[in-house]
Amino acid sequence: MVMNILPPAPTRLKIVLASASPRRRELLQMIAPAFAIAESRNVDESHPNDIKAPDVPVFLSRIKADAYADYIGDSMVLITADTVVICDDKILEKPKDADDARRMLSALSGRAHTVVTGVTLRTTTRSISFSETTTVHFSALSDSEIEDYITIFSPMDKAGAYGIQEWIGAIGISGIEGDFYNVMGLPLHHLYRELKNLTI
């Protein structure tokens, strides 16, 4: 008989994730056995031009949390997050089309770049924000490898036009410095400890 054993909860508060990302939902489940999903809300994710690229994710995670200010109830913690890929001090957004994805992957090929995720935890009385940075090293990618990835995996929903957990990560990423899960969209190690220490 196989028993379905769940991990211990990091907090007694009700955890609510405000994210449409299926990857973040899968990741959070690794450290939180039960959580709710907040209904999607329209949020203006633009940011001032004078904000440095590594500071953008935390800024946006706070903006997202602000959009749910009226949603947060007693004994609840809301989680919002934003992830950016940074190359040459510029943010690589989700690609607009295949040509844009091709341009991004070509820029990342044979080089190191950083992935930064900003997270905000919001309760009725507290707001905690933090960010996590991971350096990702790509080997040189051939034109055919880039074309195959774009055609087969269609990475239009991913910042920087790639998913580390997919084929491109297996054949193209030679190493990382930092949290692997951060590159996927949620820094689980840091988040777990923040939730564990959170009180209201």
User: How confident is the model over 90-128, as pLDDT tens digits?
Assistant: 999 999 999 999 999 999 999 999 999 999 999 999 999
Contact assessment for residue 78 and residue 126, using Cβ atoms and an 8 Å cutoff? no
d(C-alpha 59, C-alpha 22), whole Å: 22
Q: What is the dihedral of CA 24, 26, 32, 38, to 10 degrees?
A: 50
Residue from 190, 45, 38 nearest 116 by CA: 190
Please state, in angstroms and rounded to a whole number, the distance separating the CA atoms of residues 131 and 56: 10
Average pLDDT score, the chain: 94
The packing angle between helices 143-153 and 98-108, to 10°, is: 130
* Cβ-proximal residues to 100 (8 Å cutoff; 6+ apart), any chain: 161
**What is the C-alpha to C-alpha distance for residues 74 and 89, in angstroms, rounded to an integer?**
40
Residues in the chain: 200
How distant, in Å, are the alpha carbons of 116, 162, 178 from that of 181? 11, 14, 9
Q: Per residue in 16-72, pLDDT tens?
A: 999 989 999 999 999 998 999 999 999 998 888 899 999 999 999 999 999 999 999
**d(Cα 177, Cα 11) in Å, to the nearest integer?**
28
Q: Is the pTM of this model over 0.85?
A: yes
Neighbours of 131 (CB within 10 A): 22
- The average pLDDT across 147-155 equals 95
Of residues 139, 112, 117, the one with CA closest to residue 54: 117
Which residues participate in catalysis according to the annotation? 82
Residue 85: its H or E element = strand 76-87
